[in-house]
């Protein structure tokens, strides 16, 4: 029982919508609870999850999602994204899952390592969409894809 | 289901390896179970264990790690230090509770 494992998990978060942020956070936290070594790599739109200005305002977009029980013509009406986001946030809270920032704190406190993708940070910086100062303090560093390859040696990788 | 002698008592364990009946538990059993998994219990451990047992009696399920933090008042960092590499399951095991089913 509880034998020491040498398991490593790397999760790449590439999406910045609320519904695509949670799977990575939940899996990272679950892995840490199992004693698995965890590294999270935030790239492209996934950077929103660790962007201080955006992390607590991620949205769930109902349009273009065939799983939604409402047609696109309704989902695309003004304000529908905010309504859908509020409903999803309420349901997440009901299950006692924390908000994004608190979730990142939990993961970092549990020993999970957070990294931002250098190429994406440079690109968004160039497009005036974010600055390096916007990156959440719990993020260990901004690293390139080759650094990620070194970090993820012998790890299982999940791409979200 | 299996029976093992723990701290001089015949304790029943379920298929997951957790105590089948939390009422068979006492302080000596907890100390023996903890030492089994390489943990020496301190006051800080007892605070977590006691919260988990009280919460289990009220809720009928071993508390999630988040619940131990938000309701029990023990920070995440401390939980990982006290019960390294798998705090939720290790606490439940030592506290004589069933395997926790929560995801958080």
**Mean pLDDT, consecutive 10-residue segments, chain A of 160 residues?**
86 97 97 95 97 96 91 92 95 94 97 96 92 95 94 95
Q: Are A41 and A12 in contact (CB under 8 A)?
A: yes
Yes or no, beta carbons of B65 and A2 under 8 Å apart: no
Task: Give me chain A's average pLDDT, please.
Answer: 94
Interval A105-136: pLDDT, tens: 999 999 999 999 999 999 999 998 999 999 99
CB-based contact B12:B32 (threshold 8 Å): no
- Average pLDDT of the residues of chain B: 93
**Residue ranges of domains in chain A, CATH in brackets:** 8-56+100-159 (3.40.1260.10)
**Can you tell me the mean pLDDT for B10-31?**
93
Residues of B in contact with A111 (CB under 8 A): 80
Cβ-defined contact of A2 to B76 (cutoff 8 Å): no
Q: Is B68:B91 a contact under the CB 8 Å cutoff? A: yes
Contact with chain A for residue B32, Cβ under 8 A: no
pLDDT tens digit sequence for B68-102 = 999 999 999 999 999 999 999 999 999 999 999 88
Q: Check residue A116 and give its pLDDT.
A: 97
pLDDT of the residue at A2: 82
Contact B65 A97 (CB under 8 A): no
Q: Give domain limits for chain B.
A: 2-94
Cross-chain CB nearest to A33 (options B17, B77, B86): B86
Supply the pLDDT for residue B56: 94
Whether the predicted pLDDT of B53 surpasses 80? yes
Chain A residue numbers touching B71 (CB-CB < 8 A): none
């Amino acid at each position: 029982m509880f034998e020491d494992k040498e398991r490593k998990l790397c999760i790449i978060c590439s999406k910045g919508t609320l519904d695509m942020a949670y799977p990575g956070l939940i899996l990272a936290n679950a892995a840490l609870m199992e004693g698995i070594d965890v590294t999270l790599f935030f790239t492209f739109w996934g950077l929103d999850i660790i962007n201080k200005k955006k992390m607590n305002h991620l949205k769930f977009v109902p349009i273009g999602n065939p799983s939604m029980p409402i047609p696109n013509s309704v989902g695309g009406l003004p304000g529908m994204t905010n309504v859908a986001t509020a409903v999803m946030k309420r349901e997440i809270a009901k299950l006692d899952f924390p908000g994004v920032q608190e979730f990142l704190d939990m993961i970092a406190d549990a020993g999970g390592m957070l990294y931002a993708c250098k190429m994406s940070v440079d690109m968004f910086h160039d497009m005036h969409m974010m600055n390096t100062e916007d990156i959440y303090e719990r993020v260990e560093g901004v690293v390139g894809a080759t650094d990620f390859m070194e970090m993820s040696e012998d790890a299982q990788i999940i791409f979200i | 289901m299996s029976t093992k002698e723990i701290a001089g008592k015949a304790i029943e364990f379920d298929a997951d390896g957790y105590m089948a009946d939390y009422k068979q538990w006492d302080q000596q059993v907890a100390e023996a179970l903890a030492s089994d998994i390489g943990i020496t219990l301190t006051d800080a451990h007892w605070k977590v264990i006691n919260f988990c047992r009280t919460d289990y009696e009220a809720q009928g399920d071993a508390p999630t790690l988040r619940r131990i933090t938000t309701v029990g008042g023990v920070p995440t960092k401390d939980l990982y230090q006290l019960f390294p590499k798998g705090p939720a399951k290790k606490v439940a095991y030592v506290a004589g509770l069933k395997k926790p089913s929560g995801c958080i």
